Amino acid sequence: MRGASASYRMTRCGSIACGAIFAGCIAMVDAGTARAADVELGRYLSSECTTCHSPHAHSAIPNIHGMMESTFTEVVRAYREKRLNNPVMQNVAARLNDEDIAALAAYFASAKKVP
């Protein structure tokens, strides 16, 4: 399993290796974006979810906009660990690491349902 954030940092690390002169600059960028990164990452990752999970009321596919972070986290982890059964969700959850799930949970908790 690999996560988007981990890969992103690895990419940055590749840049660091290109020259020590840039190291300070890169450290500033990473430090500056670290706090805000989770929701930004969550917003990007959420685009995978919104193909099916509409902000409008649904039935078979739940509306996850506005879902509590703790609920979201527990449900996605349950799919990842195959304690819940839907293969679509098991497949989606399989490549989400804990940081991805936290980012998504934070994003969807702040996302609004649309009547």
Partner 1 sequence: MTDLTRRNFTWLAGASLAGLSTPLFAPAVFGQGKPKVVVIGGGPGGATVARYLAKESNGAVDVTLVEPLKQFTTCFFSNLYVGGFRDYKSLTHNYDKVKKSGVKVVHAMATAIDRDKKQVLAGGNRIPYDRLVVAPGIDLKFDSVPGYSEAAAEIMPHAWKPGAQTQLLVKKLNALKDGDTIVMVAPPNPYRCPPGPYERVSMFAHVLKKKGHKKSKIIVLDPKPAFSKQAVFMEGWEKHYPGMIEWQDPKMHGGIKSVDPKTGVIKTDLAEYKAALANVIPAQMAGKIARDAQLTNQSGFCEIHPESMKSKVDANIFVIGDATIAGDMPKSAFSANSQAKVAAMIIRSELTQSRAFPARYTNTCWSLIAPDDDVKVGASYEPGEGKIKQISGFVSQKGEAADLRKQNYKESVDWYNGIVTDVFG
112 scored as a contact of partner 1 (CB under 8 A): no
> Of residues 68, 82, 88, 98, which one binds partner 1 by CB under 8 A?
88
Q: Does 33 bind partner 1 (CB under 8 A)?
A: yes
- Quick check: 8 binds partner 1 (CB under 8 A)? yes
Tell me if 97 contacts partner 1 by CB under 8 A.
no
- The answer to whether residue 40 forms part of the interface with partner 1 (CB under 8 A) is yes
For the chain, helix (H) and strand (E) counts, in that order, are: 5, 0
**Dihedral angle sign, alpha carbons of residues 29, 108, 54, 73:** positive
Q: Please identify, among the stretches 72-80, 83-91, 104-112, the one whose residues bind partner 1 according to the rule CB under 8 A.
A: 83-91
Own/partner contacts of 86-93, CB < 8 Å, gap of 24 or more, are 88/52, 92/48, 92/49
